Structure 1
Amino acid sequence: MPLGPLRPSPLVEQAAAHLRDQITGGHWPVGSKLPGETTLAKELGVGRSTVREAIRALAGAGLVATRQGAGVFVIAAQVREDWPAKLRRASVADVYEIRMMIEVRAAELAAERRTEDDMAALDAALARRDEAAGDSDEALIDADIALHTAVVAAARNPILADLFAEFVPVLREGLLELAAMIDISRAEDDHGRAAHHALVEAIRDRDPVAVGRTIAEEMDRTRTYLQGP
């Protein structure tokens, strides 16, 4: 399959697309070495810097890797799917299971590490959640997520906080869909108020055992609703 010259529009994107097509189409199989920059630049009708940037883009997509002193080699035949895309494609029940694993431990850490500032943030988030219980399902869900975000923040681990943030959009969408299918006021007579107050108090008391038990029970109820009968 000939490469052919490129049109004078975003050249790096075009070069990367042409090279990607060569890889995914099998012209350069996994393990093969790409032609040198000079050869590719000549075939594509662009400068070596454009080829270099295109190869960098392919490396970012997980298709190629540079071996020092040896050249650029194909390491995958398909573009690597990024984490946000995987989350969007996953079922909300599966995402919720992973969230449970992360958040239970995060809550335990919060009980061990929380500061007075963390408690102020948790108390404020809990009050907002109480207020939202009499409002729309969307307001309650947003307030609930904000409280759980404050719990994770109190764990004082930025990687945990960033990981939890990745889950939030998918979780919010799934919980809104769940709210549209069930009567939340019947499923949770107090909208989960008692469980969330118990969680915050256990964090205040620095009791990781009680925290882990409380949040696991509360989240397991929601997972049951998500999984259905």
Structure 2
Amino acid sequence: MPLATTRRTGLVDQVIGQLREAISQGEWAIGERIPPESTLAETLGVGRNTVREAVRALAHSGLLEVRQGDGTYVRATSEVSGAIRRLCGSELREVLQVRRSLEVEGARLAATERTEEDLARLRELLAARDRAQDESSLEDFVRADAEFHAMVVRCGRNRLLTELYQGLTEVVTASVAATSHDRLTERVPIGHSGLVDAIADRDPARAAAEAGGFLDQLLLREESGSPHPTT
């Protein structure tokens, strides 16, 4: 197993990094059981508690699944894939409902409060998002799309709304991943240029409609069980 002996500082973070690297490089396949704590501890030169904490963190992020009395199995090869596997059903519907509430108001405020610098940043993020979509790069797309939506909210200059949205970063990112995977791989282009144009034109009603429109589509598809469009 190509894992290096760790240094004695930041042991848990180092073990997390090495295990994540081994998983992403295919050292263990999805569905395969990883070596027990005792074996990993000996290989890495750390205590079993350190390995246990690292495994717990990777299980929380969706890469590993701990089955009591059976062992620990690889669930996904990246946090994005893990999010797709974790976030589904009624939980995803609830996240989309909360996103709609926050993002519609954020877009409305952005149309009246944004600066030219804000607008330039929105266009940069939109361009990065579109490039990732064209290249079918899921992880880059998820990162750019989630940051784009967060930037729209920040443009509204409402600190409480921004803090509320920032507190949901993990679940928002997971919802983007869960609703983007199938359509992105099928190369179905879905853009947000209309939202940026409405914010640029300082049209709050149109910005709110643009922000709510695609989320309404996602909610309808989630409730009907249909494939998701790209957010």
- What TM-score, normalized by structure 2, do the two folds share? 0.54
1:218 — aligned with what? 214
2:199 — aligned with what? 203
1:162 — aligned with what? 163
1:118 — aligned with what? 118
1:150 is displaced (CA, Å) by 0.9
Report if the CA contact (8 A) 2:95-2:175 is conserved: no
Number of residue pairs aligned between Structure 1 and Structure 2: 137
1:148 is displaced (CA, Å) by 0.6
For structure 2, the 5+ residue unaligned runs are 1-86, 226-231
Distance 2:209 2:92 in 1: 22
Distance 1:184 1:150 in 2: 22
Q: Which moved more, 1:199-208 or 1:219-228?
A: 219-228
1:138 is displaced (CA, Å) by 2.1
Distance 2:204 2:194 in 1: 12
Distance 1:121 1:167 in 2: 21
Distance 1:179 1:211 in 2: 22
Report if the CA contact (8 A) 2:136-2:185 is conserved: no
1:179 is displaced (CA, Å) by 4.3
After TM superposition, list the pairs within 5 Å mapping 1:179-198 onto structure 2. 179-180=180-181, 182-186=182-186, 189-190=188-189, 192-193=190-191, 196-198=192-194
Report if the CA contact (8 A) 1:111-1:204 is conserved: yes
Distance 2:105 2:140 in 1: 26
- The alignment's C-alpha RMSD in Å is 2.3
- CA shift in 2, pair 1:146/1:105, >3 Å: same
- CA shift in 2, pair 1:91/1:202, >3 Å: same
Counterpart secondary structure, 1:145? helix
Distance 2:178 2:199 in 1: 30
2:109 — aligned with what? 109
1:176 is displaced (CA, Å) by 2.6
**Structure index of larger Rg:** 1
Q: Which moved more, 1:155-164 or 1:132-141?
A: 132-141
1:210 is displaced (CA, Å) by 1.0
Distance 2:178 2:208 in 1: 27
1:67 — aligned with what? none
Paired amino acid for 1:127: A
1:129 — aligned with what? 129
Q: Does 1:146 align with 2:142?
A: no
1:185 is displaced (CA, Å) by 4.7
After TM superposition, list the pairs within 5 Å mapping 1:169-184 onto structure 2. 169-180=170-181, 182-184=182-184
Percent of aligned pairs sharing the same letter: 30
Report if the CA contact (8 A) 2:136-2:184 is conserved: no
Distance 1:174 1:150 in 2: 17
